[in-house]
Amino acid sequence: MATSTADPIDVLTDVAREQARAEARAVTAMLEFRDRELERIEMQVDSPMKRFNERSAIALAIGEAMGFSEGQVQYRLSFADTVRDHSPTTWAAFSEGRIDLGRVREIGHTISQLKRAESVHRLDRRVVEYAETHTVAELRGWLKRFVRRVEADLAVERADDEQAKRHVSFQHGDDSMGFLGAYLSSHELAAIENRIRRAARCPVDPDDQRTVAQREADLLVAWCLSTSSRGDDLSTGSRGEGVIDANIAVTVDADVLAGANPGFAESTDGRWGVPANWIADVVGSGSTFWHRIVVDPVSDDVLAHEYVGRFAPDVLSIALRFLYGTCQGPGCMVPVERCDIDHRQPWPEGPTRGDNLGPLCRRHHTYKGHGILHWTTRPQPARPAA
C-alpha cells in the first residue's frame, strides 16, 4: 500500500526517525555503561560477594539515571545485547533511526528463538527491509512466520512440547465472579473462537437486551453445562439443537502438504500456526469445515479464475478473505469479516479476479474513494520469504 503524501507529513517522518535515533543513543549508552562497570568490577573488586552485589547494582544505577525500574533496564539490555551481537544490519538501522526500539525488541526476541546460525544470518539479511515499512504488529506476525518456516523441524518440536502442557484453569474472584481459561492448540482455539463469535452475532429476539459479550459468555456456559453436545439457541435464550459450524482457513506450502518437508499450517491473518500434521488429524472430523489454500512458494499464486461481473462470487470472496485475513490498509488489523472486497483497479477497467481484489475496511475503503489511499500495483505477500 502507498498513501498520498504532502510535504508537511515529512515533518512527522523526521520526528519519528529522530525519536528512534534517540532511543538508539540511550540503549547504546546503557550498554556502554554496563560494559565499563563490569570491566571495572572484574579488575578492582576481589570479594566474590561484593562483586556479585556490585554487578547487581548496575541495573539499579542505570534505572535511577533514566527513570526505569531494574526490570525494565535488564529487559532492554537483554534484547539489545542480542541484536547488537547477532544482527549488525538491524543494529545499524536502529542507530540510523530507520527502525525504532519496539521493532528492535521484536527482532531480538526472535533471534533468541532461532537455534541455527544460518537462520539468524538469513533473518539479518531480510528483516530490516520489512521492519522499515510495516507496523510492530505486522512485523511480529512476519517474524513468527519466519521462525516457523526457516526452522520448521525445531518449531514443530517446540509445538509438540507445548501441546503436552494443555490445561484448563479456574480462578474465583470478588463479587461472585471469576475467570475460566484454557491453554489449547491454536487451531482448536481458532475453531472455538470462530464458532462462538458467529453464534453470538446470529439474529436474536428483539427483546433480548444482552450485549454481544454477554451472549458469548452465556453461550459458553450453555455449551459447557449442557448434557447434550448440541449448542445453544440464542434467539430464545434456551438450549437448542445447534451444530458446530466453523470455517477455518490455513495456508500450507506445497512441499509441506506433500510431506516432503516439515512445516506449519498458518492462519491467514498471521495470528497462529500449528504443525501441518495437527491439521491432518482433525480435518476429517466432520465438526469443522477447513478451507485449505495451497500457495505456490515462488509466485504466491492461489487464484486463476476471472469473472465478468462487478461483485466477486461467494467462492472467490471467501478465498480472498481467507488469503488476506485482515484489511490491506497500511498497518490495519481489522478482520476481513468486517471488510469490503475492493478492486485495486476500479471496475469495469479492472477485472473481478483474485489479483485485482482485496479486503479494505470501510474507513480505508472511503479513503481510497476520496483519493487519499492508493493500492499498490500487485498484492503484498502476507508471508516472509524463506
Ranges 6-20, 94-108, 197-211, most confident: 94-108
Model confidence at 299, pLDDT cuts 50, 70, 90, reads: low
pLDDT digits (tens, 9 = 90+) for 232-278: 444 444 433 334 445 566 777 777 777 777 888 877 667 778 888 77
Q: What is the pLDDT of residue 239?
A: 35
Q: Coil, strand, or helix at residue 235?
A: coil
Q: Select the more confidently predicted residue: 27 or 207.
A: 27
pTM above 0.85, yes or no: no
Joined together, the cell numbers standing for residue 294 give: 495451497
Domain ranges across the chain = 2-133, 180-239, 247-295, 306-374
Q: Which residue, among 349, 352, 297, 357, has the nearest Cα to 322 in the 3D structure?
A: 357
CA dist list (Å): 344 to 330, 351, 359 = 14, 9, 10
Q: Select the more confidently predicted residue: 120 or 191.
A: 120
pLDDT digits (tens, 9 = 90+) for 324-340: 888 888 888 888 888 88
Joined together, the cell numbers standing for residue 152 give: 520448521
Q: What is the pLDDT of residue 368?
A: 86
Q: Select the more confidently predicted residue: 8 or 290.
A: 8
* Lowest-confidence segment of 69-78, 115-124, 374-383 by average pLDDT: 374-383
41-50 own/partner pairs: CB under 8 Å, 24+ apart: none
CA dist list (Å): 162 to 157, 184, 185, 186 = 9, 9, 9, 11
Distance of alpha carbon 150 from the chain centroid: 17
Joined together, the cell numbers standing for residue 154 give: 525445531
Q: Are strands 306-307 and 273-275 parallel, antiparallel or unpaired?
A: unpaired
* Lowest-confidence segment of 11-15, 145-149, 197-201, 308-312 by average pLDDT: 308-312
Residue linked to cell 525445531: 154
314-330: buried (b, 16+ CB within 10 Å) or exposed (e) per residue? Answer: eebeebbbbbbbbbbbe
As a whole number of angstroms, the distance between CA 185 and CA 179 comes to: 19
Q: What is the pLDDT of residue 300?
A: 57
Joined together, the cell numbers standing for residue 211 give: 450485549
As a whole number of angstroms, the distance between CA 314 and CA 321 comes to: 10
